[in-house]
Amino acid sequence: MLPDPITRSARFGTDSIRNAVHTSADGASAARDLDFLFEQSRADCARFDSCAVLVVKPHAFDEGASGPILQALLDSELEISAVRTLALRTTDLEDFLEGYKGVVPEYGQWVRTMSEGRSLMVLVRGEDVVRRVRSLCGPYVPEIARELAPDSLRS
């Protein structure tokens, strides 16, 4: 039996097996679902060899670009080892981006814009992963990406 046509499951699922959305039936089910999905042993499943971190910044996350970005990673045959949504504090971002401080003029702007909302952190694995992710993303400046790499994520 397919879900009620006004539910998210009906709107976003392809059928009763490949459903895009799961919601718990009640509070007790929600507690069981949370325990199953987020128990500590499952949270530590990321593999940290041959990997890179791709960050979907808050503006792109809010615009719904996460899905297409994840699909592009999968289409390029990179493995997504872990995904996490984070609202990063300025002090955390300063630590995360420390290698760029004093080197990249945009460092302060990066810290400010990334602290304005939720980001999606994606741990990506694969052979020659850093070069492949950089190629997939394209040039850092979106205007340049649109000209030089129109099929890139930043364009």
pLDDT in tens, 13-63: 565 555 555 666 666 776 776 676 665 554 555 666 788 888 999 999 899
| CA–CA dist 49, 127 (Å, integer) | 10
Q: What does the angle CA 119 – CA 91 – CA 54 come to, to the nearest 5 degrees?
A: 30
Q: Are 107 and 101 in contact (CB under 8 A)?
A: yes
The CATH number corresponding to 47-148 among 3.40.50.150, 2.60.40.10, 3.30.70.141, 3.90.550.10 equals 3.30.70.141
| Residue 88, phi then psi, degrees to nearest 5 | -90, 140
Domain map of the chain by residue range?
47-148
Output the six-digit token pair for 146: 């649109």
CA 37 to chain centre: 18
Q: pLDDT class for 148, splitting at 50, 70, 90?
A: very high
